[in-house]
């Protein structure tokens, strides 16, 4: 049975000359998992907004077309009743929360639609149990991890007998374990008969799940794949994220240069809890080294110690004290908002130099153009998208003139095209100084890293990706998905 039919001739956002969507016609069968993919700006999110009724009700524009749900025009549903049939999980679940307590958030849709209190309490409890998070019911949402927030957001769609759930970039802020958990949740939802539509860049965790996969470009479909049809060669042809880890190969073939820094017997703690101890490694000129490990093992905490934000005295050659390390190392945070301070993109990147000569301005212009921010140079940084803020923060890292760079998740949520541009920029600008990349993005690791520091619960290992260690790294990521 067809649950939804989509016929869109054209959609323009208010004030936009160019159509954001055009010539899209397809049907979704009940119980299918549909993937919408393509580079940022291709129209994935806009299409989901049309399909879930947010366009043109919440996002103004002109729609020439029609979407039917269960045989009824989407816009003929009475106000509020769509929430009984359609669920939404945003890229950042915090953006859709209206309360502070997890239980209150899940109950909100039922309260708004007048569900009897006894029935609502029963359904909320059942939704938490279904998502295996009954222990989170009385928790403050601000205290939850990204994966926990996502589970709460999904639970909020289950209070009613939701027929179809939309996910917008659900893997963007998740580490490998979080992505594996998301994969298991999707399997559970699909097994329950729910229809799922996912706008997503990362594809490998959907390999065994999708029924239809649509590649989008310039606001329309350019290719359709049935279950299991998408191959590695197709991903290359259409510029998509990989569908298969085993097809990846290391691309940094640089020879190891002289050692210029070292860290010996580094220890990392959070409060009284010891996360890392006895960690020692060398850094070589121009070396790009990845830092990989399970969630909670201390990757970001290690980055903060290496850059002098934590850790007090350490046997680290670029700074034994925190003050020395702060002077010599730059830490790019996962959340770019914490490192953007000025009123325009242009002023943000020029703030690193008190006096900017012509050569410096030329270099900065090249970088801004390379990562697609030239047209945004007069805009306020807080008006940029999450990915654009991330790329702006990366520019500041490389313009910092610090001796060592530590980049924490520089490509989270990025499509293949922008990940590839970031990789090119890292290659180009890391010459002469070591760059450390904390990431769970295996495509970035194998594209730019010469070595990888693999953190384990029982120790650590430094891998050379030009040897059989590359297979060891891929096996590690494959194991994390099981």
Segment among 50-59, 245-254, 351-360 with least mean pLDDT: 351-360
Q: Are residues 59 and 105 in the same domain?
A: yes
Q: Are residues 465 and 337 in the same domain?
A: yes
Q: What is the domain-level CATH number for residue 205?
A: 3.40.50.300
CA nearest neighbour of 336 among 291, 385, 374, 401: 385
Query: 83 versus 11: which is more confidently predicted?
Result: 11
d(C-alpha 449, C-alpha 466), whole Å: 10
Q: Which domain holds residue 405?
A: 259-480
Q: Label residue 353 by pLDDT band (50, 70, 90).
A: low
Q: Are residues 333 and 264 in the same domain?
A: yes
Section 292-318 average pLDDT: 93
pLDDT in tens, 177-187: 888 999 999 99
Q: Are residues 167 and 20 in the same domain?
A: yes
Q: Judge whether 52 and 168 are in contact, CB under 8 Å.
A: no
Indicate the number of domains in the chain.
2
Taking CA atoms, 74 is separated from 11, 59, 157, 457, 461, in Å, by: 16, 15, 18, 51, 55
Q: Are residues 208 and 291 in the same domain?
A: no
Q: What percent of the chain has pLDDT over 70?
A: 99
Flag whether 252 is in a domain: no
Q: Are residues 184 and 279 in the same domain?
A: no
Residue 398: predicted pLDDT:
85
Residue 247: predicted pLDDT:
87
pLDDT in tens, 32-61: 999 999 988 899 999 999 999 988 778 889
pLDDT in tens, 250-296: 999 999 999 999 999 999 998 888 999 999 999 999 999 999 998 88
Q: Are residues 264 and 158 in the same domain?
A: no
d(C-alpha 347, C-alpha 30), whole Å: 51
Give the chain's mean pLDDT. 91
Section 386-398 average pLDDT: 83
Q: Label residue 354 by pLDDT band (50, 70, 90).
A: low
Residue 250: predicted pLDDT:
94
Flag whether 115 is in a domain: yes
Residue 355: predicted pLDDT:
61
pLDDT in tens, 153-172: 999 999 998 999 999 999 88
Flag whether 142 is in a domain: yes
Q: Is the pLDDT of residue 78 over 70?
A: yes
Q: Judge whether 35 and 230 are in contact, CB under 8 Å.
A: no
Query: 229 versus 41: which is more confidently predicted?
Result: 229
Residue 145: predicted pLDDT:
82
Q: Label residue 93 by pLDDT band (50, 70, 90).
A: confident
Domain boundary among 247, 277, 298: 247
Q: Are residues 311 and 386 in the same domain?
A: yes
Query: 102 versus 339: which is more confidently predicted?
Result: 102
pLDDT in tens, 427-469: 888 888 899 999 999 999 999 999 999 999 889 999 999 999 9
Q: Are residues 234 and 265 in the same domain?
A: no
Q: Are residues 304 and 433 in the same domain?
A: yes
The pTM of this model reads 0.88
Residue 352: predicted pLDDT:
66
Q: Are residues 213 and 77 in the same domain?
A: yes
Q: Is the pLDDT of residue 339 over 90?
A: no
Q: Are residues 69 and 130 in the same domain?
A: yes
Flag whether 220 is in a domain: yes
Section 8-36 average pLDDT: 94
Domain boundary among 199, 226, 247: 247
Residue 229: predicted pLDDT:
97
Residue 458: predicted pLDDT:
87
Q: Judge whether 106 and 159 are in contact, CB under 8 Å.
A: yes
Residue 377: predicted pLDDT:
87
CA nearest neighbour of 415 among 199, 221, 252: 199
Flag whether 253 is in a domain: no
Flag whether 254 is in a domain: no
Domain boundary among 192, 213, 247: 247
Q: Which residues of 136-152 are buried (b: 16+ CB within 10 A; e: fewer)?
A: bbebebeebebbbbbbb
d(C-alpha 416, C-alpha 441), whole Å: 11
Q: Judge whether 340 and 394 are in contact, CB under 8 Å.
A: no
d(C-alpha 357, C-alpha 369), whole Å: 19
For 406: left if phi > 0, alpha if psi spans -120 to 50, otherwise beta; the answer is beta
- My answer on whether omega of the bond before 56 falls inside 30° of 0, hence cis, is yes
Q: Label residue 123 by pLDDT band (50, 70, 90).
A: very high
Flag whether 443 is in a domain: yes
Q: Is the pLDDT of residue 386 over 80?
A: no
Flag whether 463 is in a domain: yes
Q: Label residue 336 by pLDDT band (50, 70, 90).
A: confident
């Amino acid at each position: 049975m067809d649950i939804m039919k989509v016929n869109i001739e054209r959609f323009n956002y208010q004030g936009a000359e160019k159509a954001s969507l055009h010539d899209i016609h397809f049907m979704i069968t009940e119980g299918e998992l549909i993937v919408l993919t393509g580079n940022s700006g291709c129209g994935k999110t806009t299409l989901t907004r049309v399909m879930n009724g947010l366009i043109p009700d919440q996002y103004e524009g002109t729609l020439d077309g029609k979407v039917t749900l269960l045989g009824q025009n989407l816009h003929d549903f009475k106000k509020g009743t769509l929430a009984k049939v359609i669920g939404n999980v945003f890229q950042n679940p915090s953006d859709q929360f209206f309360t502070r307590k997890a239980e209150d958030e899940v109950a909100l849709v039922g309260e708004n639609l007048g569900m009897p209190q006894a029935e609502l309490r029963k359904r909320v409890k059942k939704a938490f149990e279904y998502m295996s998070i009954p222990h989170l019911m009385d928790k403050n949402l601000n205290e939850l991890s990204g994966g926990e927030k996502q589970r709460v957001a999904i639970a909020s769609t289950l209070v009613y007998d939701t027929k179809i759930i939309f996910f917008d970039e659900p893997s963007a802020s998740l580490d490998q374990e979080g992505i594996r958990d998301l994969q298991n949740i999707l399997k559970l939802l699909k097994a329950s008969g729910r229809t799922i539509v996912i706008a997503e860049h990362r594809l490998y965790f959907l390999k065994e799940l999708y029924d239809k996969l649509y590649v989008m470009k310039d606001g329309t479909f350019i290719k359709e794949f049935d279950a299991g049809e998408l191959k590695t060669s197709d991903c290359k042809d259409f510029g998509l994220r990989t569908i298969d880890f085993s097809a990846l190969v290391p691309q940094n073939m640089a020879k190891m240069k002289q050692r210029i820094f070292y860290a010996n017997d580094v220890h990392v703690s959070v409060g009284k809890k010891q996360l890392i101890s006895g960690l020692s490694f060398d850094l070589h000129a121009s070396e790009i080294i990845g830092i990989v490990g399970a969630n909670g093992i201390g990757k970001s905490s290690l980055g903060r110690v290496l850059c002098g934000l934590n850790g007090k005295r350490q046997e680290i050659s670029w700074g034994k004290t925190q003050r020395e390390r702060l002077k010599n190392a730059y830490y790019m945070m996962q959340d770019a908002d914490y490192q953007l301070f000025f009123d325009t993109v242009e002023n943000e990147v020029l703030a690193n130099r008190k006096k900017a000569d012509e050569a410096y301005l030329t270099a900065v212009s090249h970088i801004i153009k390379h990562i697609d921010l030239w047209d945004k140079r007069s805009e306020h940084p807080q008006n940029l998208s999450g990915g654009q803020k991330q790329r702006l923060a990366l520019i500041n890292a490389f313009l910092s003139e610090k001796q060592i760079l530590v980049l924490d998740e520089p490509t989270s949520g990025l499509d293949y095209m922008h990940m590839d541009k970031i990789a090119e920029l890292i290659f180009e600008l890391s010459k002469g100084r070591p760059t450390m990349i904390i990431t769970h993005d295996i495509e970035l690791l194998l594209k730019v890293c010469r070595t990888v520091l693999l953190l384990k619960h029982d120790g650590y290992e430094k891998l050379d990706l030009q040897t059989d260690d590359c297979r060891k790294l891929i096996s590690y990521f494959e194991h994390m998905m099981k």
